[in-house]
Structures are given as structure tokens and as C-alpha cells.
């Protein structure tokens, strides 16, 4: 079956799929008796249309639910293509997606960043209609998609203020958004470093064996522990240098040196040179 270029659809269980998009954003597909739940609508409408097309190659059942793991543009700016669906997210996800300053900041960043401004989809980011969830929750919500029990959980601030996790208890699978990834450095710029370590510990303590991250490869529990340890060590080391009176640049160099042995080969490790100063600033307040 021919799916969207550079994507791989992996069936994790009966009717449960991970849609892995190389170097871009992953999504999830859960097929029930008469409808479908999609996890993350992707970055722009054209990507959302490709996702819908791939779902149709799996099943002709309608997409009843779209779940936003968090507010970031690359996970949720495809929502406008799912207006016939119930779009679900955390209360804080809604707040972030309806904040005009946050939206404008992302548009400006996408328009000027050398990483994205010349991408073939970048023009869409200027005209996309940012569409927030139309159903929100504060702690937990349980959906039943056919015989799949789908538990949506909020465990605290981390990568954003509104990260949620999609748990399928019977299948022992967790969709983790960008909070937990396999051997990848997450984006820290919107993160909450005073809360993130505790949130990661809660995720690990769930004892789930298999997870689908927002980017990169599928992971297992040991990868979840590694991702937790990275955040704990990075934030602890950064906080130590804040207390020692180091400046942000010195701190970044020292913390990267301390992390290099265990994490130097992770995807995006070099980005810590400009990401750690952002963590520094938040820990200094």
C-alpha cells in the first residue's frame, strides 16, 4: 500500500497504528468499530490532508476524534482540516492556541528561520487558520473507540503547559508527544524546567513498555527512562551553574560537557548550545 512519501505506517495492535514521518512529526491512528481517532493533525493543512488520505487507505470509517498532544504548530496547525471531528486537547493547549502573541511569534519564527523558511510547505504557515480544540479537559478523559479504551492524561507542565499522553491500557502503548522521545533532544524553548522533571518521573512510573513519540523512532520503557534522565540531569546541572553565578553561555558549555558522555550521540545534541540558555533564563526567575 502506498502511503505518503517518507512515512511508515506501523500497526502496533489490532486497529492501532503509528504513522512515523521521517525527520518530521509523527501521528497516531486508532480504528474503532465505526469511527477513527487521530493523534496530532500535523503542521499545515496539506500535511493534514495527506494524513487523512493515509487513514482512508486503512479504513473508510470517518475520523470522529482528533487529539492534540500539545499546542505546537507542527502538531496542531492541521486542525482546520478536521472541522467535522471533535478536536480534543488540554485546557492549557486551548489557551496557548488562542493566544495571539504565541501564534504571531510562531509565524514570525517560521517565516525567518533557516530551518523552515524555504521548505515547500512554509507558505502555508502564513495563512493557516489556527484551530484550537473544541473539547478540553483538565486532568483525565477516557474515550472508547470500538473496543479500544483510550485514556487521555495530563501529568503536569513539561515541554509546554498542556502536554497530554494517550494511553491504551490493554495494548500497553503510550503516545507521548514531544515530552518523551527516543534518543532525541526535545525543544526546550516553551518548556517548564521547574516542573518537567517531576512530570517525566510520573510518566516513567506508569510502567508502560511501548511508546510512540512525537518525532523519531518508536521506543520502549528503557528509552523512556533515558529521556527522563536527560531532563533531570540537564535541569539539575543548569540550576547548579545558575546558583554558582555562571552566565548562560558558560553554563551551556559546562552542562553540555557533563552530558556529552551519555547523550552526545543523540539527535539534536548540538542544539543545546542555544537551548540551555533558554532553560537558564527560566530557572533564574
Per-domain residue ranges for the chain? 1-178, 179-285
Q: What is the pLDDT of residues 20-74, one digit of tens each?
A: 999 999 999 999 999 999 999 999 999 999 999 999 999 999 999 999 999 999 9
Q: What is the DSSP letter of 248?
A: H
pLDDT of residue 216: 98
The span from the CA of 203 to the CA of 166, in Å, is 11
Q: What is the pLDDT of residues 228-265, one digit of tens each?
A: 999 999 999 999 999 999 999 999 999 999 999 999 99
Superfamily of domain 1-178: Ribonuclease Z/Hydroxyacylglutathione hydrolase-like (3.60.15.10)
Higher pLDDT among residues 111 and 257, named by residue? 257
In our burial notation (b when 16+ CB lie closer than 10 A, e otherwise), range 85-122 reads bebbbbebbbbbbeeeebbeebbeebeeeeebeeeeeb
Query: What pTM does this model have?
Result: 0.97
The span from the CA of 148 to the CA of 61, in Å, is 15
Q: How confident is the model at residue 1 (pLDDT cuts 50, 70, 90)?
A: confident
Amino acid at each position: 500500500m502506498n502511503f505518503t512519501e517518507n512515512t511508515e505506517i506501523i500497526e502496533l495492535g489490532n486497529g492501532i497504528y503509528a504513522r512515523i514521518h521521517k525527520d518530521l512529526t509523527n501521528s497516531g491512528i486508532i480504528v474503532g468499530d465505526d469511527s477513527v481517532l487521530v493523534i496530532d493533525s500535523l503542521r499545515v493543512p496539506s500535511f493534514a490532508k495527506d494524513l487523512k488520505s493515509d487513514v482512508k487507505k486503512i479504513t473508510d470509517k470517518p475520523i470522529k476524534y482528533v487529539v492534540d498532544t500539545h499546542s505546537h504548530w507542527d502538531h496542531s496547525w492541521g486542525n482546520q482540516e478536521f472541522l467535522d471531528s471533535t478536536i480534543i486537547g488540554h485546557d492549557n493547549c486551548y489557551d496557548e492556541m488562542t493566544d495571539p502573541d504565541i501564534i504571531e511569534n510562531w509565524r514570525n519564527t517560521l517565516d525567518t528561520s533557516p530551518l523552515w523558511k524555504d521548505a515547500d510547505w512554509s507558505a502555508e504557515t502564513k495563512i493557516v487558520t489556527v484551530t484550537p480544540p473544541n473539547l478540553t479537559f483538565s486532568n483525565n478523559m477516557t474515550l472508547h473507540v470500538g473496543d479500544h479504551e483510550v485514556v487521555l492524561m495530563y501529568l503536569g507542565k513539561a515541554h509546554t503547559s498542556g502536554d497530554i499522553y494517550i494511553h491504551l491500557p490493554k495494548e500497553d502503548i503510550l503516545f507521548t508527544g514531544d515530552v518523551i522521545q527516543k534518543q532525541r533532544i526535545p525543544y526546550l524553548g516553551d518548556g517548564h524546567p521547574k516542573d518537567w522533571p517531576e512530570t517525566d518521573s510520573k510518566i516513567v512510573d506508569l510502567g508502560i513498555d511501548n511508546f510512540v513519540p512525537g518525532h523519531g523512532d518508536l521506543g520502549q520503557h528503557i528509552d523512556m527512562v533515558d529521556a527522563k534522565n536527560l531532563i533531570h540531569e540537564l535541569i539539575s546541572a543548569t540550576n547548579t551553574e545558575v546558583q554558582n553565578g555562571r552566565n548562560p553561555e558558560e553554563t551551556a558549555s559546562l552542562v553540555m560537557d557533563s552530558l556529552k558522555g551519555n547523550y552526545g550521540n543523540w539527535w539534536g545534541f548540538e542544539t543545546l548550545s542555544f537551548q540551555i540558555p533558554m532553560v537558564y533564563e527560566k530557572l533564574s526567575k
